[in-house]
Structure 1
Amino acid sequence: MWFVWRPEGECLQLCCGLDIGFKPEHVTGLYELLSLVNQRVWFGHFEIYREPGMDDAEPVNDIVFRHTLAFTSLDKPSAVQTAHMINSAADAVDRFFPAFDFYLKGARSPMAALEACLFETVGEA
């Protein structure tokens, strides 16, 4: 997880790589899964990250969660704001990493991978 200050947009960007490399043949299904997942993320989004200049035949680098806060030139990010960004990223990654992992390990479809990770435990064991 890392922060980057983007002066061109006066914004603070948090990025969190999932460290889950994959092959080019998974890209189409992953875009579908990203679309399904991002509908359920309130702050930030997941995206496929490729190093600039990579050949399309090369394995894709990673899936990244990205969240950005814009500021005016007079504002500075507060500890509360940065903590919220970190917590949002951690929550999103904890919740949706299993869907990406399950899809890449052979789920029948992106929707099946998502549904397998979206459940809530009710009651006591």
Structure 2
Amino acid sequence: MRAAEERFEAVHDAAPLEMLAALFDARGWPCERGADEISGEIQGSWTKYQIKGIWRAEDRVLQILCLPDIRIAAEKRGPANELVARVNEQCWLGHFEIWSSGSVLLYRNGTMLSDDGMLSLGQAQSLVEIAVDECDRFYPAFQFVLWGDRTPADALDAAMVDAAGEA
């Protein structure tokens, strides 16, 4: 086992950004750290995703953002918004949205931590895995709408059938 992985496995609870930094380091994912956020890149099944962890200490809330580097052209904004609504009906945790500035698609999940504001190893792994898994699960649907000119309903149906066939 690599030294970074051994150190990571030895950590039980830590401040949220420290735990995410340890996770990124252990997995060999490049990342940058700021005062209240960490940002890195992870290879998913379809593309590379930018992952951001943003910590709001005053609220004890950790937001995980996953950006699949998809920008929504103005003429596709209507169908993309409809697809986001349909996709969000399928999400148990977190949601997708299109940022108004830059028309960027992203997945967002906010987690309120306990009074001590600590993040466990299991939580860190799960939050990042869920974000990447959800982006991977719906990435084809967005491709079908944005580049394949399918309707949002058809795109989601096709993406869900394809995902079911991969299991």
Deviation at 1:50, TM superposition (A): 3.2
**Which residue number corresponds to residue 111 of structure 1?**
153
Deviation at 1:7, TM superposition (A): 3.0
Match of 1:85 among 127, 137, 152: 127
Instruction: Tell me, in whole angstroms, the C-alpha distance in 2 between the residues paired with 1:68 and 1:4.
Output: 9
**Which residue number corresponds to residue 13 of structure 1?**
63
Deviation at 1:28, TM superposition (A): 1.5
Deviation at 1:42, TM superposition (A): 1.2
Identity value in percent: 33
Cα deviation 1:9-65 (Å, max 9, x = unaligned): 3200100111011211211111110111011111111100233xxxxxxxx431000
SS in 1 for 2:117: coil
Deviation at 1:106, TM superposition (A): 3.1
Cα deviation 1:76-117 (Å, max 9, x = unaligned): 111110111011111101110110111001333111111111
Q: Does 1 or 2 have the higher relative contact order (CA < 8 Å, sep 6+)?
A: 1
Q: Give the TM-score normalised by structure 1.
A: 0.83
What runs of 5+ residues in structure 1 fail to find an aligned partner?
52-59
Matched, 1:37 2:87: yes
Q: Is the 8 A contact 2:66 2:131 kept in 1?
A: yes
Instruction: Tell me, in whole angstroms, the C-alpha distance in 2 between the residues paired with 1:70 and 1:48.
Output: 23
SS in 1 for 2:96: strand
Q: Give the TM-score normalised by structure 2.
A: 0.63
Q: Is the 8 A contact 2:72 2:80 kept in 1?
A: no
Matched, 1:67 2:109: yes
**Which residue number corresponds to residue 78 of structure 2?**
28
Q: Is the 8 A contact 2:94 2:109 kept in 1?
A: yes
Count, aligned residues:
115
Deviation at 1:75, TM superposition (A): 3.1
Instruction: Tell me, in whole angstroms, the C-alpha distance in 1 between the residues paired with 2:72 and 2:166.
Output: 34
Name the aligned partner's letter for residue 79 of structure 1: L
Matches within 5 A, 1:47-62: 47-51=97-101, 60-62=102-104
- Structure with bigger helix share is 2
What runs of 5+ residues in structure 2 fail to find an aligned partner?
1-50
